[in-house]
């Protein structure tokens, strides 16, 4: 069986930065709590918990604790509330997400209606929306545009893990809604590259394994792309992998979300190697 590793694969730089920050803080502090899942991968969260870096799950607000803002960011008012409760706060927000927050705040302060293209209930989008001072509107799909009336000025940003083709389709429908429109492509370049390369190679593959958390937006986008062209499976846990999916002569592509650890990718390859002789290449 031929295995094609579609790179970049494994952690993106933003996820790696967030995890490294958490580990660095833990060396200096007795206990560290993250405000929500640090990244959207259950295996990573389990491994961090073993190092005593845990999600704050209590219904009570933390006080006098060491807190870490998740890679997806957090609504600004929540950060201020935690500060007022005398917590020590460290910011693990991905720099690219932070850039979207800053752009959204800039647009709102300069009189633009801020359109955020993304998943309404995703923590990243909720965080970005908080920087618009009530001047933001989330558009998840084209049907949501019925909520948008005309404005003198519109500024457009997007969740960093969106599919650019889907974003462009929505932007096209917004262009007649204002005299002045500013558009920022805020999709993570590495997310775009994974999507672009997957789209390119999908057509020549029999099966694609999309490796990553079921709650990961960018992993979900990869699965949607792969599923358009060939048989695709999203695998979050090694136990989900089934031998019956494959034949020895298959050409199988492996692609991962940005919060999928290399150790998990290695485990998948090891399991496939137990079942079939493998010829592995990377693109």
Q: Give the mean pLDDT of the chain.
A: 96
Instruction: Please check the confidence at residue 256 and state whether its pLDDT lies above 90.
Output: yes
Per-residue model confidence as pLDDT tens digits over 160-198: 999 999 999 999 999 999 999 999 999 999 999 999 999
The 3-state DSSP class for residue 179 equals coil
Structure tokens at 262: 């290399």
Q: What backbone torsions phi and psi does residue 30 show, to the nearest 5 degrees? A: -70, -40
The pair of three-digit structure tokens given for residue 11, joined into one six-digit string: 């952690």
From the CB of residue 218, how many other CB atoms can be counted at a distance below 10 Å?
27
- What letter does residue 239 receive in the DSSP assignment? G
pLDDT in tens, 99-150: 999 999 999 999 999 999 999 999 999 999 999 999 999 999 999 999 899 9
DSSP 131: G
Domains of the chain: 2-10+190-282 (3.40.1010.20), 13-93 (3.40.50.11270), 96-187 (3.40.1010.20)
pTM, full prediction: 0.92
Residue 94: band (very low, low, confident or very high) from pLDDT cuts 50, 70, 90: very high
How many residues does the structure list for the chain?
Answer: 283
Q: What is the pLDDT of residue 255?
A: 98
* Enzyme catalytic residues: 124
CA distance 165 to 153: 23
What local confidence, expressed as pLDDT, does residue 147 receive?
A: 87
Nearest CA to 154 out of 184, 117, 182, 187 is that of: 182
- Phi, psi (degrees; rounded to nearest 5) at 261: -75, 150
């Amino acid at each position: 069986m031929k295995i094609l590793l579609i790179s970049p694969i494994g952690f993106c730089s933003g996820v790696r930065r967030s995890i490294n920050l958490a580990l660095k803080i833990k060396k200096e502090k007795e206990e560290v709590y993250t405000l929500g899942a640090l990244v959207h991968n259950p295996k990573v969260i389990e491994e961090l918990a073993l190092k005593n870096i845990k999600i704050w799950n209590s219904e009570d607000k933390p006080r006098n604790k060491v807190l870490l803002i998740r890679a997806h960011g957090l609504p600004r008012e929540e950060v201020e509330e935690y500060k007022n409760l005398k917590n020590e706060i460290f910011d693990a927000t991905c720099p690219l997400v932070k850039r979207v927050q800053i752009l959204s705040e800039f647009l709102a302060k300069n009189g633009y209606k801020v359109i955020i293209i993304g998943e309404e209930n995703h923590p990243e989008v909720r965080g970005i929306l908080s920087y618009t001072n009530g001047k933001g509107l989330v558009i998840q799909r084209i049907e949501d545009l019925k909520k948008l009336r005309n404005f003198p000025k519109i500024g457009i940003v997007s969740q960093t893990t969106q599919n650019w083709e889907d974003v462009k389709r929505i932007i096209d429908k917004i262009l007649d809604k204002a005299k002045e429109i500013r558009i920022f492509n805020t999709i993570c370049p590495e997310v775009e590259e994974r999507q672009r390369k997957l789209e390119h190679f999908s057509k020549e593959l029999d099966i694609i394994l999309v490796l990553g958390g079921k709650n990961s937006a960018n992993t979900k986008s990869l699965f949607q792309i792969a599923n358009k062209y060939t048989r695709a499976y999203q695998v979050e846990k090694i136990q989900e992998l089934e031998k019956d999916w494959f034949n020895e002569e298959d050409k199988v592509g492996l692609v991962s979300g940005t919060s999928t650890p290399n150790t998990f990718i290695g485990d998948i390859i090891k399991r496939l190697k137990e079942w079939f002789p493998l010829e592995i290449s990377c693109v």
